[in-house]
């Protein structure tokens, strides 16, 4: 363990239902604001679910050459925008002498869903010669990672995880491990998704995953509440600049936090339901803590996966108790999905960014809409209002369909 390189975060970019950068998103989270609203992107009357957490007022031409907009799917536009913010905050430029040692791990759970649906309509109505010639690069899940690498000139390791709700937590974790073992000096990492579409919403609803609270949209989702009824679909992107510590110090980078540990497991139980007792999640938490060399009592904050589905919230509660023991009842935990909705392949990275901001600002965002706690979810889920709390070590949980469990540990960087 002593020979592993240390990895730090120096830049964060975010496009979310609460704001078009990380600062505005953080302010909204701390104030307990809801991103849930009636769907505007398509006619929701086709569906029993009429609300979602859409990204609002996003103009891709503010971030991308207008000529490139037609060649990129919405998820790629979100990813490119978040990347530009992250590298700007990090004051990071990939020069030719380091290009081979900088990589990109930016994932997407579904890829270019909007393009796929739109181009199928074109094929059916106008024929194959009218298909956008860039349709395939717009659809493929690794499209964002490839475009980011091209734009920045990153020639190191590059690929795109697709592990459902755990996607971008896995992206950060894999990038962390690449730097930690010495295969790169810096990585661009995160995730993006644009899944608010008629087919996407219909599909998730058929799984029984979505909230049907159309009448009072801002009162859902309800993580850990006994009246929770499911996910509210979200979208967006979050991307970070990760650097090997000595490289970051040499170039005078401002260090936001240190990534200290990463743990992954697979339930091998059910394609959409968590393993009984949260067993797989508990193993991932243990592995992350072992990787970070931290004890249960060291954990100061947990950003929960907290989807507001009946099974997930109980399983996560059980997993945290199984690993943290008595300390589970003393550590504040919150689900920011209660405000952003479920941003799918972007959600893990955004919630990792929340952990970093909690470390920096000494404030924990609340779990909105938690009014009547489920007796089986009996931990401190920070209901209603943000809380001042010094955070030195934070944990981020992401658990995805397919049984993918991903946990990151962040530490305050004090040199």
Token couple for 345: 């392949």
d(CA 350, CA 237): 7
| Among 342, 355, 377, 404, the one annotated catalytic | 342
Q: Is 342 a catalytic residue?
A: yes
| Whether the Cβ atoms of residue 304 and residue 381 lie closer than 8 Å to each other | yes
d(CA 335, CA 303): 6
Cis upstream peptide for 221 (omega within 30°): yes
Q: Is 404 a catalytic residue?
A: no
Strand-pairing partners, residue 131, are none
Q: How far is CA 156 from CA 98, 101, 105, 195, 243, in A?
A: 9, 5, 10, 29, 13
d(CA 267, CA 404): 7
d(CA 402, CA 219): 29
Query: Which positions ≥6 away from 23 have C-beta within 8 Å?
Result: none
d(CA 217, CA 401): 25
Judged by DSSP in three states, 111 sits in coil
Max Cα-Cα span within the chain: 64
d(CA 136, CA 128): 13
Q: How far is CA 11 from CA 15, 25, 30, 44, in A?
A: 14, 15, 20, 37
| Among 114, 305, 377, 404, the one annotated catalytic | 305
Residue 282 buriedness (CB in 10 A; 0-12 / 13-18 / 19+): buried
Q: Is 165 a catalytic residue?
A: yes
Strand-pairing partners, residue 393, are 411
Element (H, E) at 299: none
φ/ψ region of 266 (left if φ > 0, alpha if ψ in -120 to 50, else beta) reads beta
| Among 50, 53, 114, 165, the one annotated catalytic | 165
| Whether the Cβ atoms of residue 330 and residue 380 lie closer than 8 Å to each other | yes
Task: Please provide the size of the chain in residues.
Answer: 415
Which residues belong to the active site? 165, 305, 342
């Amino acid at each position: 363990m002593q020979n592993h390189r240390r990895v730090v975060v120096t830049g964060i970019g975010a496009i979310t239902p609460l704001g078009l950068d990380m600062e505005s998103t953080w302010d909204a989270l701390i104030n307990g604001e809801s991103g849930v609203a009636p769907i505007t992107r398509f006619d929701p009357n086709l569906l029993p679910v009429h609300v979602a957490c859409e990204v609002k007022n996003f103009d891709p031409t503010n971030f991308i050459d207008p000529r490139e907009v037609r060649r990129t799917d919405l998820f790629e536009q979100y990813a490119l925008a978040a990347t530009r913010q992250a590298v700007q905050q990090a004051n990071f430029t990939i020069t030719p002498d380091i290009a081979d040692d900088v990589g990109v791990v930016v994932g997407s759970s579904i890829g270019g869903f909007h393009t796929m649906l739109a181009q199928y309509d074109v094929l059916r109505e106008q024929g194959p010669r009218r298909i956008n010639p860039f349709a395939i690069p717009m659809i493929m899940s690794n499209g964002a990672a490839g475009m980011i690498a091209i734009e920045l000139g990153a020639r190191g390791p590059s690929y795109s995880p697709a592990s459902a709700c755990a996607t971008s937590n896995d992206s950060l974790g894999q990038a962390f491990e690449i730097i930690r073992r010495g295969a790169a000096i810096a990585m661009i990492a995160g995730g993006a998704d644009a899944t608010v579409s008629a087919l996407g919403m219909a599909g998730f609803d058929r799984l029984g995953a979505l909230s049907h609270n159309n009448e009072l949209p801002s009162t859902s989702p309800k993580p850990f509440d006994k009246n929770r009824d499911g996910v509210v679909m979200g979208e967006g992107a979050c991307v970070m600049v990760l650097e090997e510590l000595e490289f970051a110090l040499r170039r005078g980078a401002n260090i936001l936090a240190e990534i200290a540990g990463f743990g992954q497991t697979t339930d091998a139980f059910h394609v959409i339901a968590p393993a009984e007792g949260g067993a797989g999640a508990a193993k991932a938490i243990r592995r992350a803590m072992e990787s970070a060399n931290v004890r249960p009592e060291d954990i100061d904050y947990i950003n929960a996966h907290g989807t507001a589905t009946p099974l997930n919230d109980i399983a996560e509660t059980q997993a945290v108790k199984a690993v943290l023991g008595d300390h589970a009842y003393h550590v504040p935990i919150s689900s920011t999905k209660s405000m952003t909705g479920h941003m799918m392949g972007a959600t893990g990275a955004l919630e990792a960014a929340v952990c970093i901001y909690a470390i920096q600002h000494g404030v924990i965002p609340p779990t909105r809409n938690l009014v009547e706690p489920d007796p089986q979810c009996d931990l401190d889920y920070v209901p209603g209002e943000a809380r001042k709390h010094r955070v030195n070590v934070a944990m981020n949980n992401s658990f995805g369909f397919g049984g993918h469990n991903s946990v990151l540990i962040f530490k305050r960087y004090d040199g």
